[in-house]
Structure 1
């Protein structure tokens, strides 16, 4: 039976454990890639508008389990370099999980044993998700699949053009575009509140386009019906001429 304690455990897992595990995972990328001379590194935490940007840290406004590491390039390029970088989050999580498990086995952290056991569970969840070669959303390979392809074929052989680890420059460009859209929408909302926006301009572009499409569909449907009725009438009265 799902009780209050289970609900509390779910909340702790979703808002405390998972974000920390994701942070540790991305920290593995960062630590190892720095050894190979990574260019323009960025550690992004959260989502939405930017709150603080300091050194490599980019902290966003909205709390979310998702955080990621990005960079533009590495100085020491080789298959070995990329294998080590993609293996970094797997190895980092394994080290953290085994360390916590050893502490629990030797009598440490016993007062919070339930919390740490749950923490270890989610760490190994990401280890399995990262290490077992598989294709994920839209056929995108996980880290295990990339490592397998690099070892066997010497390159990635999937059809995805985008990088598994995003480019920091591209992340910044996407962020700027999203913020421009947000600013335009906020301006329109303020105009609506103040009554400065004319009634005919209050419908969103999407609604206007949808209305035009509906009108075109109705027109096409009416024309099709008229043609069908005319064909039926001509079949009944073959001598009748089509009116000008």
Structure 2
């Protein structure tokens, strides 16, 4: 039963433990990108307006919500390095969990609620990353990317396009021959099916929430939502401009 005494534990989990786990997760990408000679690396923690930033680190207002890692496009020559890129967040979290578990088992650090929750989140993210599935937008989990690389010999890398391009592509419908007008391409049949399901669901939601009762489409975003979308579009544009510069 959840009570008032559990609120401090909830806040500790969301505001302290979860951001640390996300930092550990992204550090795997950082390490592999460094080993592969990447000169540009940037770790972003959270979403929303920027609180502060350093050359390789950016922390945002809602630091407990999201995280990602930007780096130069890497072109390793072997499947081994491709596999290490996909496996890097899983390996860093497993390594951290094993070290922490050993320290707790030897009594070097005392057992308490903080470490129990910390270990729980580490193994939760390991499980989430290792599941071989595609997310609704077609992006593979690292487990799925590893599965496609080892089992099918294919890379299911996924690069999100800018929001304007995506919204235009959503208006196109798959024709009878199975060709799509979308610029996004999938590496595997399962990935293609997932992306088509996502587009179908998007069209159904648009038809439901924006009925063509008049010639004018009303703006339905709040100011906060609009600001968040602008931040997203800016981030995508920066990544796109950086990739073109290369």
User: Structure 1 length as normaliser, TM-score?
Assistant: 0.62
Contact residue 46 and residue 65 of structure 2 kept, 8 A: yes
Partner of 2:20: 20
After superposition, what is the alpha-carbon deviation per residue over 1:121-154, rounded to whole angstroms, capped at 9, x for unaligned?
A: 1100000111131222334321011011111222
Distance of aligned partners of 1:25 and 1:214 in 2 relative to their CA distance in 1, 3 Å threshold: same
Unaligned runs of 5+ in 1: 175-212, 218-244
Question: Who wins on radius of gyration, i.e. which is larger?
Answer: 1
Q: 1:44, 1:60 within 8 Å by CA — same for their partners in 2?
A: yes
2:134 alignment counterpart: 135
Contact 1:130 1:144 in 2 (8 A): yes
Which string of whole-angstrom CA distances, capped at 9 and with x for unpartnered residues, describes residues 139-179 of structure 1?
4321011011111222235xxx733xx7xxx8xx88xxxxx
Q: 1:15, 1:65 within 8 Å by CA — same for their partners in 2?
A: no
Per the alignment, residue 114 of structure 2 pairs with 115
Task: Indicate the residue corresponding to 1:230 in structure 2.
Answer: none
| Alignment-derived partner of residue 55 in structure 1 | 55
Distance 1:69 1:132 in 2: 20
Q: How far off is 1:48 after superposition?
A: 2.1
* Aligned-partner Cα distance in 2 for 1:55–1:8: 34
- Aligned-pair distance for 1:59? 2.5
Structure 2 gaps of 5+ residues are 164-211, 217-246
Return the offset for 1:214.
4.2
What is the aligned length?
171
User: Per-residue displacement from partner, 1:99-141 (whole Å, max 9, x unpaired)?
Assistant: 111111111321x522101100110000011113122233432
Structure number with the higher helix fraction is: 1
Distance 1:88 1:215 in 2: 51
Name the CA distance, whole Å, in 1 between partners of 2:94 and 2:52: 31
Relative to 1, partners in 2 of residues 1:14 and 1:47: Cα closer, same or farther, differing over 3 Å?
Answer: same
Query: What root-mean-square deviation, in Å, do the aligned CA atoms of Structure 1 and Structure 2 show?
Result: 2.8
Q: Which residue of 2 aligns with 1:179?
A: none
Q: Is 2:180 aligned against 1:145?
A: no
